Amino acid sequence: MLASRWFAVGSASGLEGEPGARAADAALARDDPKLLIVFCSHGLDLEALGAQIRRRAPDTPLVGCTTAGEIATTGPGDSSVVVAALGGEGFTVDTAVATGASHDLRSAGASVARCVPSPSDRPHRALLLLTDGLAGDQQEIVRGAYGVLGAGVPLVGGCAGDDLKMVSTFQLFDDRVLTDAVVAAGIASDAPLGIGVRHGWRRVGEPMLVTRSGGNFVFELDDRPALDAYLDRLGVGGSAPHDGEWFTRLALTHPLGLGRRGGEEQVRFIGGADFDDRSLSCIAEVPQGGLVWIMEGDAESVLTATDAACSDSLTALGGSEPIGVLAFDCIARRGVLGDARIGHEIERLASMTGAPVAGFYTYGEIARTRGIHGFHNQTLVVLSIG
């Protein structure tokens, strides 16, 4: 017999009083929570929000982050807070934090990975990671965690956002508000945990060769300044303004695809451009010598990928019914769907799983179920909790 397990979600608008307390009250369905997961707008008073939540559950471990939009069973939101709670005897949870992560991202990933409970606690385990996507090459965090846990423990999570300002993001750990940090929850369960990963983008035009790059910066494509080559491919090279906000919104719906043997392309979110040296900055590494394509998608392809990611996560449960869902959805996919359709995506997740949904729009997604690669951009990651 499986031990009792439960998952509940609460959400509240930040424009009303005590939003943290109201969201926490709705999420605390029972009196034995093991973990609180908080996703909230960058524009809220984070210290006050955290205090409101902690008053409701002062001893429960808490991890969370700021977003580029929030996701709850009721639909997508902005300027809101979403609180998910899981509890019951069927879960064992431990949490960890690494600060100053940008100084050594791989060590940060390795450090927090050690919080995963031992196999004797529960047979099904996963490491939930919430990171500062502006701190550098996020694949290094995945490599660090993988180096500690190996292939036996899947990794899942996302990169915090700041409502597309691209200046600073915040991570939440118990009663602390941090930046340049990795927060993690090691979850062990007596029922399966299923992960699905799909992006819904397709290649456009001919590939370009990455002739010079370093870390998450691309300096040259096809022996030309990377920004010039990219804008020319999109037909806006001669008319492009020197405007960072304009460029960010253009790049949201035109990511780079990295060719990969035996599977879907890895997608790289272009987070910004340097208009002086004409380079591109991405959220993760773009290897020198590799081929990249400009990618595009539409509402149909994005929603098809949503259905596939959800189906894959449910299949991984092996017949168990989900009690809850965590969704990590790239802000770029939201841009493709537009305000008229983003609600449809959340409705599909909720209806396919029949379970409460919590999540956020990210600057990057984490999902490693096989191999050492586990960082994604402009992708949907679904964790179904059996």
Give the model confidence (pLDDT) of 100-142 as tens digits. Answer: 999 999 999 999 999 999 887 789 999 999 999 999 999 999 9
Residues 25 and 86 in one domain: yes
Q: Of 296, 324, 345, which residue sits at a domain end?
A: 296
Looking at 296, 325, 342, the residue that finishes a domain is 296
pTM recorded for the entire structure: 0.90
150 and 19 in one domain?
A: yes
Q: How many domains does the chain have?
A: 2
Task: Mark whether 237 and 279 lie in a shared domain.
Answer: yes
pLDDT at 205 over 70: yes
Q: Which of 107, 104, 165, 163 is nearest to 135 (CA)?
A: 104
Residue 1 falls inside a structural domain = no
> Is 252 inside any structural domain?
yes
Say whether pLDDT at 209 is over 90. yes
Q: Quick one: pLDDT at residue 262?
A: 54
- Say whether both 90 and 20 belong to one domain: yes
| Shared domain check, 335 and 262 | no
DSSP helix/strand/coil, 101 = helix
**Are 22 and 109 found together in one domain?**
yes
pLDDT at 21 over 70: yes
Distance (Å, rounded) from C-alpha 69 to C-alpha 79?
Answer: 8
- The residue among 296, 319, 341 that closes a domain is 296
Q: Tens digits of per-residue pLDDT, 226-248?
A: 999 999 999 987 777 888 888 98
Domain co-membership, 377 together with 266: no
Is the separation of the CB atoms in 126 and 153 below 8 Å? yes
| Residue 49 in domain | yes
Q: 94 and 51 in one domain?
A: yes
User: Which among 269, 265, 273 has a CA at the least distance from the CA of 252?
Assistant: 269
DSSP state of 262: T
Of 369, 343, 338, nearest to 357 by C-alpha is 343
Which pLDDT band, with edges at 50, 70 and 90, does 261 fall under? low
For residue 2, count other CB atoms closer than 10 A to its CB.
Answer: 12
Same domain, 321 and 258: no
Residue 223 lies in a domain: yes
Give the residue numbers spanning the domain of 358.
6-198+300-385
Return d(Cα 123, Cα 193) in angstroms, integer.
10
Which residue's structure tokens are 């996701």? 71
d(CA 17, CA 172): 20
